[in-house]
Structure 1
Amino acid sequence: MKEILSTKNTTIKEFKKLHKKKYREENQQYMIEGFHLIEEAAKAGAKIEWILFNQRGKTEWSDWLETQPENLFIYVSEEVLESLSELPTPQGMIAIVKMPDDKKKIDLSGGWLLLDNVQDPGNVGTMIRTADAAGLSGVILGEGSSDIYSTKVLRAMQGSNYHLPVIRKPLAEVIDRFKEAKVPVYGTELNPEAVAYQQITKSEQYALIMGNEGQGVAAKFLEKTDKNIYIPIKGAAESLNVAIAAGILMYHLQNND
């Protein structure tokens, strides 16, 4: 088992770079923190390349560590773990994980959530987690949407990225594929042509587009949809948070009966 006790260690410096998207993409690696997320990654068969833990991690999760290959282990000091952590209180364990292949063919069956330029990490992570809970087939992130391998998105997803495909692709290309396959595509917009979501009949297959927090779904995508839908506001609030709205629509559209 390796041991690193200094924050000036070259390996630790390289791991720390993974907090930036540029280096994550260059190295095709990302960092997850905390036992729950690491356990979810391991259960899903994600390629864990290193498991770093301090004394707390070794003590609290010794039973689980005994089930993992020892050649992945790096025992680190509390100071080293704190230098890598982005949490107020480090949880004693960090893993370095290989990014999955993002070029797999999309199976159009079931329900799909499409995100257009959704920039808030908490919103992106929450929507992916809700898509998982509602039983959707997958999530597609279009241009401008937050990187799912950032710490905030990973925390918000709570491991749901290991339960369903989360793919980054140009939405124009994806929408055209759904249209060619006769899969209904719904945009979200409040305008005279839009209909209340309750008027939409559930179907086995569909695609739902959610847009930017301030600007909504881009007009070029709304022009391609089969129908644009909205959620009626009963109270005085001007609008709903995009993640809350997505949850309402996904649970309505998903045919789980």
Structure 2
Amino acid sequence: MLTSLTNPKVKEWKKLQKRKYRERNGLFLVEGHHLVEEAIKSEWTVREIILREEASLESVNALPVTYVSDQVFNEIAETQTPQGVAAVIEFKDFTYEPAPYSLLIDSVQDPGNLGTLIRTADAAGFNQVIVGRGSVDVFNEKVVRATQGSLFHLPVIQAELEEVIPYLKENNVSVYAATLEDSVPYKHIETQSNVALLVGNEGQGIREEILNHVDQNVNIPIYGEAESLNVAIAAAILMYHFKA
């Protein structure tokens, strides 16, 4: 059992709380029974399981397990009340492809929103999520937690949307942007497959240089006094519309 905060392995785990170290090592941490079990069931590579001394996990199988003290686990955990179960996961590379349903995300910076977008795309039956420049890191702990395991269910790709959108259009995928500017109500758009939905930054919306590439802008009518909808809520309405 590891009990020292100065142990080299503990230091390496602690570094994975920062994006530059995650990217350098190609690894990230997940916490909690549900997320760890979803990772184990998936095709992602689980490098190591970390268990607090009194914790247990049924689905460990033949995976390497390291037991640590309460003090060590609290040092590497980022949740307020850690469950005592964590895992080190290897990055998984995906390549974007033309697909019946794709969610494109431009510059979404709130971890909870990005995680919820991934989770909702999974629930709505979308085939892939493509996260563009300016968005929060997909492997940020709060993003991973907000996905509730959906990160391990469908490809989540980080790419330049300026390159992705023309490629999708060349392959007969219609690209719709959720924005008020020069847009039509979403109910005027017939449901269809081979569609990509683009959503943008919570405050600034979608960058102009990306909007120039889309086929049609769509909006969700506001019937009350609210100025706008949360980006994840708006995306959910539109994704389910296109899947209807």
Secondary structure of residue in 1 paired with 2:80: coil
Amino acid at match of 1:204: S
Q: Hey, what does 1:232 align to over in structure 2?
A: 221
The answer as to 2:151 corresponding to 1:156 is: no
Q: Distance in 2 between matches of 1:74 and 1:182?
A: 49
Amino acid at match of 2:59: W
Q: 1:205 aligns with which of 194, 202, 211?
A: 194
Q: Hey, what does 2:231 align to over in structure 1?
A: 242
Q: Hey, what does 1:56 align to over in structure 2?
A: 54
Q: Distance in 2 between matches of 1:40 and 1:21?
A: 22
Q: Hey, what does 1:88 align to over in structure 2?
A: 80
Asked if 1 retains the 8 angstrom alpha-carbon contact of 2:172 and 2:194, the reply is no
Q: Deviations over 1:3-59 (max 9, x none)?
A: 21111111101110000000000000000001110110010021111111013313x
Amino acid at match of 1:180: E
1:64 Cα deviation after fit: 2.8
Q: Distance in 1 between matches of 2:97 and 2:172?
A: 14
Amino acid at match of 1:126: T
Q: 1:108 aligns with which of 83, 94, 98?
A: 98
Q: Hey, what does 1:128 align to over in structure 2?
A: 118
1:156 Cα deviation after fit: 0.3
Secondary structure of residue in 1 paired with 2:214: coil
Secondary structure of residue in 1 paired with 2:11: helix
Amino acid at match of 1:123: N
The answer as to 2:15 corresponding to 1:17 is: yes
Q: Distance in 1 between matches of 2:194 and 2:231?
A: 22
Secondary structure of residue in 1 paired with 2:196: strand
Q: Hey, what does 1:26 align to over in structure 2?
A: 24
1:211 Cα deviation after fit: 0.5
Q: Distance in 2 between matches of 1:101 and 1:213?
A: 27
1:161 Cα deviation after fit: 1.2
1:233 Cα deviation after fit: 0.2
Q: Distance in 2 between matches of 1:228 and 1:56?
A: 54
Q: Hey, what does 1:77 align to over in structure 2?
A: 69
Q: Distance in 2 between matches of 1:123 and 1:27?
A: 26
Q: Deviations over 1:200-255 (max 9, x none)?
A: 11111101110011110111111211110000000000111111101011000124
Amino acid at match of 1:227: Q
1:182 Cα deviation after fit: 2.1
* Runs (5+) with no aligned partner, structure 1: none
* TM-score normalized with structure 2 length: 0.97
Q: How many residues align?
A: 244
Amino acid at match of 2:52: N
* Runs (5+) with no aligned partner, structure 2: none
Secondary structure of residue in 2 paired with 1:4: coil
The answer as to 2:214 corresponding to 1:221 is: no
Q: Distance in 2 between matches of 1:45 and 1:227?
A: 36
Amino acid at match of 1:37: L
* TM-score normalized with structure 1 length: 0.92
Secondary structure of residue in 2 paired with 1:215: coil
Superposed, 1:132-151 pairs within 5 Å as 132-151=122-141
Q: Distance in 2 between matches of 1:204 and 1:246?
A: 16
Asked if 1 retains the 8 angstrom alpha-carbon contact of 2:40 and 2:59, the reply is no
Amino acid at match of 2:72: V
